[in-house]
Amino acid sequence: MNKKAFTYKKSGVDIHAADKFVNFISEITAKKRGKKKFNNIGGFGSINDIPKDIVNPKIVTCTDGVGTKIEIANMINKYNTIGIDLVAMSVNDLIVQGAKPLLFLDYISINKVELTKLKYIIKGILKGCKLAGCELVGGETAEMPDTYEKGKFDIAGFAVGFVDKKKVLNKNKIKKNDIILAIPSNGLHSNGYSLVREIIKRKKINIKRDSFLKKELIRPTKIYVNDVLKLINKNLINGCANITGGGLEDNIKRIIPNKLCAEIDLKKIHPLKIFKWLKKNNIEDDEMLKTFNCGVGFCLIINPKNLNKVIKNFSKINKPYIIGRISNGSMKVRLKNEIKWV
């Protein structure tokens, strides 16, 4: 063998390591697949059945990433939850249309294939898929040594779901006097991390030594699929919104019909400890509301007569509460009062 010859491995790409990773994914997904007919991992494409229990199926698709929360994972060398975030960011959007998530694919781009790190990420993705009731059916891993610095990577997710045409949630179902419920978030989810990291940098905080921040900043995004789908199947929801980047106002206004307004009383919001910590770091209320979910992870818009039926579907710790009402108006969203941070 000519030792001076150019090879792909010498350029920084190890196909053998990537193949080992694909084999690992095939093995762990095969255990979960059971007697399902198609094995999609390692092929050129994914083959799957359309659900037979949906009479007039419509396909709903979503894609997202986890942003710079990845840098927190790198800071504390913890990668087993970032995959849950990846699934959550797509499937939580999917259910806003009333769709049940069925399939998930991932894309991982990395400086160099590190099997241990990638295995943790994939295990997190599989756990997220289990929580969301969908299946990991394929993906792509790209080794890109000149694009990413040593140890750096990015991930993206793609979710596919189906909904019966009659159960699609659209703006037309939202009516005047409907009430707006907040389902509590469990933390930051995967938004606002560039601002969080700037605070950490300026204050020279070592999050490895700060037990509160270390736990809160890596906490995986809450998956709302099961709770919300139960309500959709019982026809108890007129509309809903996943509160991600842009906060309450930007996300809720996307589902409000013309000539109606979502009036939200900010003093009714229950901010979590992590948001109170952020607020103390000289962040204006407008910036907090625009950047973070502030404790409201998901919103439901329902007929007030269904309030008790909706609440009964949640555990005590996860119970939604009223933060607003739909009224006539041209603003789509109107925020009043201020969040009580203390």
R_g over Cα of the chain: 22
What is the arrangement of strands in the sheet containing 179-184, beginning at the earlier edge strand? 239-242, 296-302, 179-184, 321-328, 260-265, 332-336
- pLDDT value, residue 8: 43
Contact 339, 269 (CB under 8 A): yes
Q: What is the dihedral of CA 23, 41, 91, 200, to 10 degrees?
A: 30
- Sign of the dihedral defined by the CA atoms of residues 244, 250, 252, 254, in that order: negative
Per-residue pLDDT of 15-35, as tens digits, reads 566 566 566 566 666 655 555
- pLDDT of residue 11 exceeding 60, the answer is no
pLDDT averaged over every residue in the chain: 90
Check residues 32 and 187 and name the one with the higher pLDDT.
187
- Report which of residues 202 and 24 the model is more confident about: 202
Distances (CA, A) of 192 to 76, 90, 118, 199: 18, 17, 24, 11
Please name the residue ranges forming H helices in the chain: 15-33, 69-76, 82-94, 115-132, 193-202, 211-218, 225-233, 247-252, 273-279, 285-291, 307-311
Rounded average pLDDT over 237-266: 96
Whole-prediction pTM: 0.89
Beta-carbon contacts of 151 under 8 Å, excluding residues fewer than 6 positions away, are 74, 111
Confidence (pLDDT) at 38: 46
**Residue 75's pLDDT is what?**
95
Say if residue 46's pLDDT is above 60: yes
| Dihedrals phi, psi of 228, to nearest 5 degrees | -75, -40
Domains, in order of start, for the chain = 15-33+50-165 (3.30.1330.10), 171-187+222-336 (3.90.650.10)
List, as one string, the DSSP characters of 267-325: GG----HHHHHHHTTT--HHHHHHH--TTEEEEEEE-GGGHHHHHTTS-GGG--EEEEE
Q: Give per-residue pLDDT as tens, 252-277.
A: 999 999 999 999 999 999 999 999 99
Q: What is the mean pLDDT of residues 119-129?
A: 95
Cα angle, residue 246 at apex, residues 268 and 211 outer, rounded to 5°? 75
